[in-house]
Amino acid sequence: MRIAVFDTHPYDERALSEANAAGEHVLEFFEERLHDKTVELAKGFDAVCPFVNCRLTAGVLQRLAQLGVRLVVLRASGFNGIDIAAAEREGIAVARVPAYSPEAVAEHAFALLLTLIRKTHRAYNRVREQNFSLDSLEGFTLHGKTFGALGAGRIGQCAMRIAKGFGCKIIAYDPYQNPQIAADVGFEYVSLERLLQEADVISLHLPLTEQTYHVIDAAALAQTRRGVIIVNTSRGGLIDATALIDALKTGQVGGVGLDVYEMEEGVFFHDLSDRPLQDDTLARLMIFPNALITSHQGFLTREALRAIAETTLGNASSFARG
Ligand code: NAD
């Protein structure tokens, strides 16, 4: 298939070209994201291959269909940027990569968590300035704490297995329960309310949908343990950032690790060091030393990139074979 690959970085080109070593598909790489202003680039292609922060609205999908595109091979798992009903109406098939390396994202959640609770980000900055003071670097031990996973799917389960290794008590909230998984991993399903009330650490591993938008809002934050640590490697829209800022101010939230952010489109994946941040809530969050923000990089490991590329092109091959 002729595939237009959007929002590419050198590492995407490398991984996809390696996965296409036999030359089964014709790939063309575009740095641009796929949205209403860039859709014309898809002319002459059978398929488009966007990434997480694409905006495939009904209008974009209609134009893609007019241009002859028959397939969207998303090289990500979260498809919240695609109007699936509109794609169906336009006769465009949508494929995604449901699981490539859940371990990569779960490990990143723990990188954020351990950094936050041991304040290694602050120590790192100090030591580089030859300041070896331990002032306000007191952290807490994870062993014996309650780890609450919001979402017990692929990544949530990996995160819980890691938490188990640290000697945490594990609880999870997921509306779709599987007692066998709970027994295998060793966690207890609880209500959302109980999870909020009992967890010392809340780690988000659920998709962003209309139902889950702002699942962590002011009311939810009011129910948590004082000083709770929140880690979000799922989607920014799951947390009401304004309520989070208020809770950081009062100490209700003791620390937050964010790999994803509500307004990340147009912010992350780019070097904006010479420009002010457009989104003022992100800038306001960064003021807190106990807010640790990374640039949506949970997926960014060698192993995950290889798996994403192979599944994405495999999806295109399956479509081509009918
Ligand atoms: P998954 O589909 O395997 O699991 C999601 C789980 O969330 C399911 O068990 C589902 O039942 C549950 N869920 C649905 N609604 C819920 C609700 N209201 N409350 C609690 N749980 C609910 O998905 P996954 O592979 O574990 O991925 C989780 C999320 O991680 C994805 O949605 C994606 O947005 C995000 N992600 C981020 C990165 C990154 O680079 N940071 C990479 C991959 C995926």
Q: What are the phi and psi torsion angles at 273 (to 5°)?
A: -60, -20
Task: Give yes or no for residue 173 CB within 6 A of ligand 1.
Answer: yes
Task: Give yes or no for residue 150 CB within 6 A of ligand 1.
Answer: yes
Residue 33 host element (H or E): none
235 belongs to the catalytic site: yes
How far apart are alpha carbons 51 and 75 in whole angstroms?
Answer: 6
Condensed to tens digits (0 to 9), the pLDDT of residues 12-35 reads 999 999 999 999 999 999 999 999
**Atom 15 of ligand 1, residue of closest alpha carbon:** 206
Does the structure show a pLDDT above 70 at 271?
Answer: no
Expressed in angstroms and rounded, the spacing between residue 137 Cα and the centre of ligand 1 is: 32
Average pLDDT over residues 74-102: 92
Catalytic entry in 214, 296, 303, 321: 296
| Contacts of 161 by beta carbon, 8 Å cutoff, 6+ apart | 106, 185
Condensed to tens digits (0 to 9), the pLDDT of residues 171-195 reads 999 999 999 999 999 999 999 999 9
Q: What would the DSSP string read from start to end of 142-161?
A: -TTPEEEEE--SHHHHHHHH
Expressed in angstroms and rounded, the spacing between residue 259 Cα and the centre of ligand 1 is: 14
Ligand 1: nearest atom to the Cα of 99: 25
89 belongs to the catalytic site: no
Condensed to tens digits (0 to 9), the pLDDT of residues 51-64 reads 987 889 999 999 99
296 belongs to the catalytic site: yes
Ligand 1 pocket test: pick from 12, 196, 234 the residue with the most ligand atoms within 8 Å of its Cβ: 234
- ipTM of this complex > 0.85? yes
- HSE at residue 26, side-chain half, CA atoms within 13 A, is 5
Q: Which of 114, 110, 117, 115 is nearest to 139 (CA)?
A: 117
Does the structure show a pLDDT above 80 at 321?
Answer: yes
Does the structure show a pLDDT above 90 at 44?
Answer: yes
Tokens at 291, concatenated: 């807010």
Are 1 and 25 spatial neighbours (Cβ–Cβ below 8 Å)?
Answer: yes
pTM, entire model? 0.89
Q: What is the mean pLDDT of the chain?
A: 94
Task: Give yes or no for residue 75 CB within 6 A of ligand 1.
Answer: no
